Amino acid sequence: MKNILKIIFNKSKEYILLFILLILSLITLTLNNNAEVKKIRSYAFASFAVWAELINATMSADDTKLLELQNTNAKLMLQVNKLREFALENSELKTLLNYNITSQYKLIPTSIVSKNISKIQGVYIISVGFKDSIAKSMPVLNEKGLIGIVTEVSENYSLVQTLHSSALKISASIPRSNIHGVISWNGDKLVLSNIPTTNDINKGDRVVTSILSSIFPPSIPIGLVVEKETNISGLLSDVTVQPFVDVTFAKNVFVLATVRSSQIDTLELNLLSK
């Protein structure tokens, strides 16, 4: 062992000596109060500050570009799902050609300030509030799909119930077979509950927000069917859904600025909670 260390030291002693001299030079430069040394030190620190600012500016520009790309992807995701709905409802190509592909979705970008993801509770605090035109019941999503819904709003921040919150129940549908139901988190997975066993459901079917919901706009992607499990009665099934968005690792999100009737929202939330 000693021989190995000796060989390594002999081969690297020049680099070790250079490193020690650099450290001593930096310490001397920092502690020396000589006027010439002070001048050198000021130039060195100024140069470092300029480079640091340039690096931060570059990183900030990259973050801005990334956010813009995510915003565009989120809008395209919503439009593509609208087109899917049109294709399922009407096979005539002219219907798709008449669809306004330039329809605008108002997405408010924000970042997640805090997360609390547990077995039964999955909530975010996001860095926008009513001063940014955020209101209760606005959907929260990213470029992959639905994340949750705004439940509380203050001036600068909002509380979001995510798909991992057992308190959040969503009217959902499987467009391929026009099946509607209520999807929620059971503490372990996302489940579309009490679906008649005879209904046509296949692994890989897309699950989206239902047109029957007054809280969420229709056709926001939620996830894919991964399993269908028949309960004891044999008449109903629970459908396990793999969400498109992993809420545990989400970072940048968007609030979809849609304002629904507060009275209808309250009635639907009360109905879903029963």
- Compute CA 141 distance to the chain's CA centroid, rounded to the nearest angstrom: 6
* Phi, then psi, of 143 in degrees rounded to 5: -70, -10
Supply 22's token pair.
């650099």
Here the tokens at position 190 are 């996302």
Entry field: residues in the chain: 274
On whether the CB atoms of residues 243 and 226 are closer than 8 A, the answer is no
Looking from the CA of 241 toward its CB, the CA atoms found within 13 Å total 33
Whose CA is closest to 128, among 148, 163, 152, 145? 152
Report CA-CA distances (Å) from 108 to 10, 135, 258.
Answer: 61, 12, 11
With vertex at residue 136, the alpha carbon angle to CA 253 and CA 175, rounded to the nearest 5 degrees, is 65
From CA 117, how far away is CA 189, in angstroms rounded? 13
| Per-residue pLDDT tens digits of the chain, which is 274 residues long | 566 666 666 666 676 776 676 666 655 655 555 666 555 655 554 454 445 445 555 545 556 677 777 777 777 777 776 666 655 555 444 443 443 343 456 889 998 888 887 777 889 999 999 999 999 989 999 888 999 999 999 999 999 999 999 889 999 999 999 999 999 999 899 999 989 999 999 999 999 999 888 788 888 999 999 999 988 777 899 999 999 999 988 888 999 987 555 445 555 555 554 5
Q: How far is residue 238's CA from residue 228's CA, in Å, rounded to a whole number?
A: 6
Tokens for 253, please give them: 């999100």
Give the per-residue pLDDT at 50: 47
State which fold the 104-274 domain adopts: Thrombin, subunit H (2.40.10)
Rounded CA-CA distance 30/40 in Å is 10
Q: List the end-to-end C-alpha distance of the chain, in Å, as a whole number.
A: 71
